[in-house]
Amino acid sequence: MPVEVICVQEPTDAQFDQLVKILLKAFAKDVVVQSMSGGNAELAREGTQAIYRAGFLEGCVLLAVDSASKDLLGVALGFGPGNGLYMTEAQRALGFDAVSAKYTDEMKQWWGEFIQQSRKLKEDTVGSDRILQSWYADNIATDPARQGRGVGTALVKALCEKAKEDGVPLFLNAMTESNVAWYKKLGFEAKGTREFTALGSLGGEKCQSTLLVWEDSPKKQAAK
């Protein structure tokens, strides 16, 4: 199946609705999504919409489509140097403020601790300033029905190309060992891992988050 990756700045309503559906299916069992929404499907949908409205405003949204049918197969969101998800009031005003206002006290505490732990991992491994000066991929998702066909790989390579064009690394986080192994096969290096706990009311599962980086090193450039 030939896959084409396109950068979209102003999606149609149909594209936006479709990418949200893919994300909700792809991350249906994701611990972070479940904890951020308290297991509430409607809040998960609103949170996903908020993330991508912010991404379309100041980030880079990539859509993977079937080259022939133009069917949407997957989606990725990244932010270039000097920017990041919800870093500006304009981004937060597109949905995050409204969603976070619905958080329970438990969810607010979990979110604050999760963000603090994420920042500490970045600071302790490579430094927050270096990540801010690089590309960062917030999420990469493939329609579960289209997995194993190169869609995710195409999206990751497109983000790597963005970072290469700017002469900076690409960072991202992976939440499962299988995803960490997959990113390593694509040339990423693990920089550090931290443990975190899912929302207590959802079982308080012990989980891990690994920070990975891709760099277009001089050796790679010389080999091309």
CB 76 within 8 A of CB 127: no
The answer to whether residue 115 sits within a structural domain is yes
The answer to whether residue 34 sits within a structural domain is yes
The answer to whether residue 192 sits within a structural domain is no
Number of domains in the chain: 1
Q: Which of 134, 109, 118 is nearest to 38 (CA)?
A: 109
DSSP 199: -
Q: What is the CA radius of gyration of the chain?
A: 17
The answer to whether residue 224 sits within a structural domain is no
CA separation for the pair 47, 155 (Å, rounded):
22
CATH of the domain at 30: 3.40.630.30
pTM score, whole prediction: 0.93
The answer to whether residue 183 sits within a structural domain is no
CA separation for the pair 168, 112 (Å, rounded):
29
The answer to whether residue 11 sits within a structural domain is yes
The answer to whether residue 98 sits within a structural domain is yes
Assess whether pLDDT exceeds 80 at residue 222.
no
Domain that holds residue 17: 3-165
The answer to whether residue 83 sits within a structural domain is yes
Q: Kindly state the tokens that stand for 20.
A: 């949200």
CB 41 within 8 A of CB 119: no
Q: Kindly state the tokens that stand for 138.
A: 């917030």
- pLDDT digit string, tens, across residues 83-117: 999 999 999 999 999 999 999 999 999 999 999 99
- pLDDT digit string, tens, across residues 158-207: 999 999 999 999 999 999 999 999 999 999 999 999 999 999 999 999 99
Q: How far is CA 42 from CA 25, 34, 38, 163, in A?
A: 13, 11, 10, 34
Q: Kindly state the tokens that stand for 116.
A: 């603090």
Split at pLDDT 50, 70, 90, the class of 219 is very low
Question: Which residue(s) pair with 194 in the sheet?
Answer: 209
